[in-house]
């Protein structure tokens, strides 16, 4: 006859088995004296543990700490608090500086870039237009041979040229060269 394992016996004592399993274990305990004595021994141990903890106060008493340990805990807590505050302050200052730099960039950088690049653009404007025109003259024939696949490419090309013409024809303030017109 095989004996009950410890897990099954403990589950039986804790009423954690299904009713069918409890019936099987009860039948085995009535036939096996060794398992029965183990069960009686463990049941007495469980009752003793329950009785010893039942009379005790369930709230935990605070542990008395020495002043040195308390001072160390408070010092560590203050270091963590200071580091957290410093990290937060750095983050606020960093984001503020980044926002200020972006604001200055958006306000002043376009004017600086246009003042630097407008003479170069005025020189290269005609070359860009003529180069685009000659490219279209040479390659538009190949694009137009395939009607359905490149329809969006043709529309995009035409819209791009139209946008370039609008950009080129917008009036920009001229750079003061010191010559007066009378």
Instruction: Find the farthest-apart pair of alpha carbons in the chain and give their distance in angstroms, rounded.
Output: 128
Judging by beta carbons within 10 Å of its beta carbon (0-12, 13-18, 19+), is residue 35 exposed, middle or buried? buried
Local structure of residue 55 (DSSP, 8 states): T
Q: Using 50, 70 and 90 to split pLDDT, how confident is the model at 170? A: low
Query: What's the pLDDT at 182?
Result: 45
d(CA 90, CA 33): 74
List, as one string, the DSSP characters of 18-37. -HHHHHHHHHHHHH-HHHHH
Q: Measure Cα distances from 153 to 133, 148, 156 in Å.
A: 16, 10, 5
Q: What local confidence, expressed as pLDDT, does residue 91 receive?
A: 87
Q: Give me the mean pLDDT over the 128-157 stretch.
A: 65
Confidence of residue 59 (pLDDT cuts 50, 70, 90): low
Q: CA 124, CA 31: separation in Å to the nearest integer? A: 107
More confident residue, 48 or 129: 48
Compute the distance between CA of residue 97 and CA of residue 104 in angstroms, rounded to an integer. Answer: 10
| 29 pLDDT above the threshold of 50 | yes
pTM over 0.75: no
């Amino acid at each position: 006859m095989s004996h009950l394992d410890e897990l099954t016996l403990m589950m039986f004592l804790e009423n954690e088995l299904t009713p069918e399993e409890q019936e099987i274990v009860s039948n085995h305990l009535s036939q096996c004296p060794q398992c029965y004595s183990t069960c009686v021994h463990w049941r007495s141990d469980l009752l003793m543990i329950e009785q010893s903890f039942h009379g005790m106060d369930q709230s935990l008493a605070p542990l008395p700490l020495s002043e040195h340990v308390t001072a160390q805990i408070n010092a560590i807590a203050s270091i963590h608090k200071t580091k957290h505050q410093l990290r937060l302050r750095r983050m606020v200052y960093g984001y503020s500086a980044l926002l200020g730099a972006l604001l200055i960039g958006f306000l002043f950088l376009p004017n600086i870039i246009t003042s630097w690049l407008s003479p170069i653009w005025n020189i290269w404007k005609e070359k860009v237009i003529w180069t685009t025109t000659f490219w279209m003259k040479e390659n538009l024939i190949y694009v137009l041979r395939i009607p359905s696949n490149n329809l969006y490419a043709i529309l995009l090309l035409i819209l791009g040229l139209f946008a370039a013409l609008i950009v080129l024809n917008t009036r920009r303030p001229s750079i003061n060269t010191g010559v007066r017109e009378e």
